[in-house]
Amino acid sequence: MNEKENKGGNNDEPNKKFSIWDLPDVPMGQLPPHLQLQKTRVVCKADAPIHTDNISYSGAYASIGVDNSVHLDLFRDNFKVNVIRLTKEDMEFDMIGIDPALANAFRRILISEVPTMAIEKVLIAYNTSVVQDEVLAHRLGLVPLKADPRLFEYLSANDTPNEKNTIVFKLHASCKRGERRTVYSEELKWLPKGSELIKEAGQADSKPTTYTSFTCSQDVLPEFSEDPISPSEDKIILAKLGSKQEIELEAHAVKGLGKTHAKWSPVATAWYRMLPEVVLLEDVEDEVAEELVRRCPDKVFDIEDIGHGKKRATVARPRDCRLCRECVRGEGWEERVELRRVKDHFIFTVESTGVLPPEVLFTEAVKILEEKCERVISELS
């Protein structure tokens, strides 16, 4: 309201029956450009960014007749995804037309709530290496496993480990006298039939039991007979062995969530940044243009010839801007260059650890948010 009244005051018309609502500079039903900028862009000044908040309240612009509520249809029309890069392990895509609340929810779920399989229990039969048992167990826990977690169940406190909730690996590595060697993750051998270590018998004549009770071998399942379970990388160093040292152990992997321990996180990391937008507020020419190009470490600016021996700076690669703010630092520069970020355009990067392909991980993350909503709805009904 203040905004408009100020403008009304500036406009000294003699007409007594004047109403600010009739003024041409208060466009009804659409946002004036400065508010539009505030709503859609973060502006990065040399000292700090401004307009960083998101105006999501439906009635925020009710006084100028703008409906700020977002209907599902509107969201559907505006939402876009562009895949920029996609490999087995990582993926970069643009997510356009979504609120940071949702983008951030997806990111948080990817990091801490998409389940994976990771080694949780290590039974060490023999270890004469210099790596202590607990350190070795911790290292093993962090090895990402190529096993689809959707095919497994959680192992809860009272469950017995069986073929549906546990994966067993064996590691037996030794080093000859006078030699040295490195133990790599490829030496972890999958035991589809379960544990081979015999529990110390309580009763003398009872049948010997192992640490798991598998009813069938995991490798007869069609999902695993094609694609056997293994660590997702072969060359992860687990330990180094010296002359006559030996490690013998069994590792039991179970399903878990990244919020319990980072070893269950399916991503190396997942992050997003808002699309940078670099705007030249005035023509930047000659020496100043060269200085501008020199200032930018990411080569965002180019110089074009405009004839008569004059040169002018242009913004060539705004997407590469890392927002170091070097181009707005110092006297006079903020008047020439404005750095902005588009509030609803996210450049999202997912780096998978190899457990599942990144696009599957993202889909799983979205499904988990859906499940959360579903749960709330059913509990409220």
Partner 1 sequence: MCVAGNRREMEHGSLNDPSKATFSFVDEDHTLANSVRFCLNQDPRVSVCGYSIPHPSDARVNIRIQTTGEPAREVLKDGCQNLMLMCQHVRGTLDKAVADFRMNNPTKMETKSDSEMET
Task: Choose which of 229, 241, 278, 347 interacts with ligand SF4 (CB under 6 A).
Answer: 278
Return the SS3 of 223: helix
Residue type, 15: N
**Which phi and psi angles does 105 have, rounded to 5°?**
-60, -45
| Shortest distance, position 76 Cβ to partner 1, whole Å | 5
326 binds, options partner 1, ligand SF4, none, Cβ within 5 to 8 A by partner type: ligand SF4
The terminus-to-terminus CA distance of the chain in angstroms comes to 41
- CB of residue 191 vs partner 1: minimum separation in angstroms? 26
Q: Where are the alpha helices (DSSP H) in 132-233?
A: 133-141, 222-226
| Token pair listed for 28 | 């009804």
Q: Which of residues 54-73 bind partner 1 (CB under 8 A)?
A: 56-59, 67-70, 72
The answer to whether residue 366 forms part of the interface with partner 1 (CB under 8 A) is: yes
Pick from ligand SF4, partner 1, none: which does 322 bind, CB < 5 to 8 A by kind? ligand SF4
- Does 298 bind ligand SF4 (CB under 6 A)? Our answer is yes
CA angle, corner 261, sides to 258 and 265, nearest 5?
A: 30
Torsion angles phi and psi, residue 21, rounded to 5: -70, -20
**Per-residue binder mask for ligand SF4 (CB under 6 A), 325-364, x = binder:** xxx-----------x-------------------------
Minimum distance, C-beta of residue 290 to ligand SF4, in the bound complex (Å): 14
Q: Is 374 in the site for partner 1 (CB under 8 A)?
A: yes
Instruction: Answer yes or no whether residue 92 interacts with ligand SF4 by CB under 6 A.
Output: no
Give the binding-site size for ligand SF4 (rule: CB under 6 A): 14
Distance CA 259, CA 263 (A): 9
- If one asks whether residue 303 binds ligand SF4 (CB under 6 A), the answer comes out as no
Handedness of CA 24, 30, 34, 35 (dihedral sign): positive
Residues numbered 95 to 134 that lie near partner 1 (CB under 8 A) are 95, 98-99, 101-102, 104-106, 108-109, 113
Q: Is the distance from CB of 42 to CB of 49 less than 8 angstroms?
A: yes
Tokens at residue 284, please? Answer: 């930047």
Q: What number of CA atoms fall less than 13 Å from residue 164's CA on the CB side?
A: 7
Instruction: Report which DSSP code applies to 159.
Output: P
Residues forming contacts to partner 1 in the complex (CB under 8 A) are 56-59, 67-70, 72, 75-76, 79-83, 86-89, 93, 95, 98-99, 101-102, 104-106, 108-109, 113, 359, 362-363, 366-367, 369-370, 372-377, 379-381
